[in-house]
Structure 1
């Protein structure tokens, strides 16, 4: 019995020792407060963070390289466009030199200075004994004419800033013996015994009439006082293409002189072998009221008082 009890006690002690050994845990780290498995997770997280930082730096480097490549591409594209533009402009100038018919004008730089420079350079390489380009004005827009091209001796164009090519004005052409002159903000074209008026603002011919013996513009209007071939005094509105004859004896009155605020009609006649000189003075405001002449909505800016002869 005693031996049996000793054996039981020994088995119990051994079992207790085995259980105690199986339940033993390693102490937590004094530095991190974590066990070995948890510490391994922390190490892996730090490595991932380092890798992310490295990837971010590499991404920024790639983005920078792409931006540099994009800038280089844009620079090359711009350079190519400039070269193509210069080639097209050179071809255009060559066409102007070689053209027999009305040439085509075209440029890429469309500011007024570039347009004028283009026309001047084109003109400089033309044989001026045969052809030519004449710049009439270059204020708000460029007005110019070609000389010696096509079936007409001279053709007027209007080139607005911002446009790649000019507008050919239909009907604004004249022969070799023709001429042009400023009529306030309009251009009066004389050719073949006919007069026509170019409305620069609206880019069209607005009036066509027989060339008079004398003509003067009523200030701030689109009406001219003229003496026609029958010695009649006529008020002609070239915008509305209408005319009104002044009631004067054209057998006696043969001339007129338009002043700032009045018009003076003069003439001579013979009676009983005696020659008499006559004058009739009429205030301009009274004349305009009598014949219902309206002033322009905006007074035109006076252009240079010059005449160009072809």
Structure 2
């Protein structure tokens, strides 16, 4: 299934012979509706007919609206795509008593995937700095088992992130101007790309959570507050380094002399992340697209909430 991101001003979305037509003054492209999973509007000035919304609703195609940071602020889904009530009841009950245990598992996997990302690049660069960081991250996966509270888990996560990004900065794997990790609103080019990439990833996670009938605003690790999709942020953790960071590093030659993320660079980032999501990886003895792995992982998490399965976060092999 295809995830379409519309990121150009003045685009019109319409329907033609069972296909979505995306057009501007110079060009038009067609996408069969039966091959679309989501469509994300990432630019102002995009228009579409009411027929598009109706057919999306009937076919279960989700329509996301992204803000200037690439973060989804609205989602349109069909009324027939209701949440499974029991799944959310199980989620509420589980998180009340088991948040610490699953948070430790999740952040352990995140650190392992940060380590896998460094190992992936160290395979060719043979950096003492990266090797030291790889060893320290391995130690982090052991000491996090000592966490007694969620704040302890966040502390270990923060320490590992500092080791990880400091090693990338020291060896200039990102931009020359990258010194430390900065969140939303950063004007530094590499941080801007990371932030936009994480926003793209969040749309995939939100789609998987919605398909499973879970509550995206009720997580187990990230703070719960109005407007914050805590479960989306939680489940992104195991994929951030491999899906987004690795792509941003690979694109560094395209942005190393730039000061801001232009349309061409944004399109390249979207394309590379989509390619990673579409790539096949080993999952329980089978080769599956990462998109399908993410969905299965969310279903498995729902199974842990109901007591039917044990959730094991996905760890990438480099």
TM-score relative to the length of structure 1: 0.25
Q: Of Structure 1 and Structure 2, which has the larger fraction of its residues in strand?
A: 1
Larger Rg: 1
TM-score relative to the length of structure 2: 0.24
Q: Of Structure 1 and Structure 2, which has the larger fraction of its residues in helix?
A: 2
